[in-house]
């Protein structure tokens, strides 16, 4: 089988680490470039011992150079901070190298919205319309034709997949949507900082970014597209004393009289052909441990007759489904591979 050469810029974060893990056993993609200024010169196995004695471990870490990338890669994953990808992506695209960006640099379609929420001047606003939002369940056809893919955020992934069927079948109001999300500590990144020290995270539970979390405009942009109307949501994120996983509890108001059994049937029908969205039986609620290290999004449904709210519980792994695995699924689509290639594994329970 012909191998497809891929590169990774930004190996030192948790998303980069997860992508290295997934690429190590991918049957078609070969990691040919791994970039980090701080770790340049080392073999990848020296930095990540889990790829020792595997082909990926023999890659020498280098500093990013667009000429090297063009010579050695068909696609490059950018696992870099917001504000950095917008500098690299145009260079790669000009060399006919496909780009999948993990940051928010190309997720938001309105330049001013990006600049308001990220406090960064967008240097290539012409690429915002060109970029395809990389949620494969919704945009697979566009992803297949894309050269620049904006990999979705982890929180938005859990939320959009949770609400999609409800909007598709018009069973909920677009008003008064409350989203209460909890994430493992890896969602805060790998940079050393006091709030994510072990003693601060362990045996603790706290909210953060209330009313101002940067994923809010991404969530509202994509949900507005699904609902065919501009909407505003209340998004409240929290951090849990665990490594990985997201659980989003989504509170919605029903727009019609409908039973839980009917709602459940609509959700099942919507996701019947999806390899990764699993609608749990009525009476069951999802848990993070059953999706750990996988691409699965597990959905549980509760109908509160007293408040007339449909409560949707959506669970994903923030590092795999919410970042690296999703990027790999998008890469599969870009090169006409089965979307599931290299990604069908059971949970790391």
What are residue 7's phi and psi, to 5 degrees? -120, 160
- DSSP states of 274-298 as a string? -SSEEEPPTT----GGGTTTSS-EE
In sequence order, which residues have a C-beta less than 8 Å from that of residue 250 and are 6 or more positions away? Answer: 159, 162, 163, 177, 178, 179, 180, 311, 312, 313, 314
pLDDT at 1: 63
Answer yes or no: do 172 and 219 share one domain: yes
Residue 229 within a domain: yes
Query: 250: closest CA among 317, 161, 122?
Result: 161
What percent of the chain is modeled with pLDDT above 70?
100
Q: What is the C-alpha separation between 321 and 137, in angstroms, rounded?
A: 12
Instruction: For CA atoms 241, 104, 178, 140, give the dihedral sign.
Output: negative
Q: Is the pLDDT at 135 greater than 70, yes or no?
A: yes
Mean pLDDT score, 245-250: 98
How confident is the model over 87-96, as a mean pLDDT?
98
Read off the pLDDT of each residue in 325-347 and give the average, rounded to a whole number: 97
Q: How many CB atoms lie within 10 A of CB 307?
A: 11
- Any bridge partners for residue 312, and if so which? 250, 301
* Residue 132 predicted with pLDDT over 90: yes
Residue 338 lies in a domain: no
333, part of any domain: no
Give the pLDDT of residue 197.
84
**Domain total in the chain:** 2
Q: Is 154 a catalytic residue?
A: yes
pLDDT for residue 2 = 86
Give the pLDDT score at 189: 79
- pLDDT digits 0-9 by tens, 153-175: 999 999 999 999 999 999 999 99
User: What are the structure tokens assigned to 266, written together?
Assistant: 């609509």
| Residue range 44-84, pLDDT digits in tens | 999 999 999 999 999 999 999 999 999 999 999 999 999 99
Instruction: Residue 199: give its domain's CATH number.
Output: 3.30.360.10
57 and 168: one domain?
Answer: no
Q: Give the model's pLDDT for residue 187.
A: 84
Q: Which of 73, 154, 297, 320 is catalytic?
A: 154
In which residue are the tokens 């699993």 written? 278
Q: Checking DSSP bridges between strand 4-9 and strand 29-35, what pairing results, if any?
A: parallel
Q: Is residue 281 part of a domain?
A: yes
Q: What is the mean pLDDT of the chain?
A: 96
Residue 25 within a domain: yes
In this structure, the strands spanning 148-150 and 98-101 are parallel
Enter the tokens of residue 288. 């993070």
72: CATH? 3.40.50.720
Q: Who wins on pLDDT, 198 or 151? A: 151
Residue 230 lies inside a defined structural domain of this protein: yes
94 is in which domain, residue-wise?
Answer: 4-130
| Two tokens, residue 143 | 């992803």
Are 241 and 170 contained in the same domain?
yes
Are residues 173 and 312 located together in one domain of the fold? Answer: yes
CB atoms within 10 A of CB 278: 17
- Cα distances (angstroms) measured from residue 246 to each of 87, 214, 283, 320: 30, 16, 20, 11
The pTM assigned to this predicted structure is 0.96
């Amino acid at each position: 089988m012909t191998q497809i050469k891929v590169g990774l810029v930004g190996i030192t974060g948790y998303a980069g680490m997860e992508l290295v893990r997934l690429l190590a056993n991918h049957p078609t993609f070969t990691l040919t470039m791994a970039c980090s200024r701080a770790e340049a010169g080392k073999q990848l196995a020296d930095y990540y011992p889990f790829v020792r004695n595997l082909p990926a471990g023999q890659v020498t870490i280098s500093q990013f150079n667009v000429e090297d990338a063009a010579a050695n890669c068909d696609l490059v994953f950018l696992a870099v901070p917001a504000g950095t990808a917008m500098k690299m992506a145009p260079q790669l695209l000009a060399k006919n190298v496909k780009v999948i960006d993990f940051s928010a640099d190309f997720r938001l379609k309105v330049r001013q919205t990006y600049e308001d929420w990220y406090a960064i001047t967008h240097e290539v606003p012409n690429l915002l319309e060109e970029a395809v939002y990389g949620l494969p369940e919704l945009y697979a056809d566009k992803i297949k034709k894309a050269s620049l893919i904006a990999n979705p955020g982890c929180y938005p992934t859990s939320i959009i997949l949770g609400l999609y069927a409800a909007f598709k079948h018009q069973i909920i109001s677009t008003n008064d949507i409350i989203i209460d999300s909890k994430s493992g500590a890896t969602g805060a990144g790998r940079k050393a900082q006091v709030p994510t020290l072990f003693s601060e995270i362990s045996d603790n539970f706290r909210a953060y970014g209330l009313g101002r979390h940067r994923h809010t405009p991404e969530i509202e942009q994509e949900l507005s597209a699904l609902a065919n109307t501009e909407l505003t949501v209340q998004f409240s994120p929290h951090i849990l004393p665990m490594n990985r996983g997201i659980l989003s509890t989504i509170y919605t108001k029903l727009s019609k009289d409908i039973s839980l059994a009917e709602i459940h049937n609509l959700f099942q029908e919507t996701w019947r052909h999806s390899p990764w969205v699993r609608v749990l039986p009525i009476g069951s609620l999802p848990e993070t441990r059953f999706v750990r290290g996988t691409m699965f999004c597990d959905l549980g449904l509760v109908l509160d007759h007293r408040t007339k709210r449909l409560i949707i519980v959506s669970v994903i792994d923030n590092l795999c489904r919410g970042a690296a695995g999703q990027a790999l699924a998008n890469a599969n689509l870009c090169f006409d591979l089965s979307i599931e290639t290299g990604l069908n594994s059971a949970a790391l329970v």
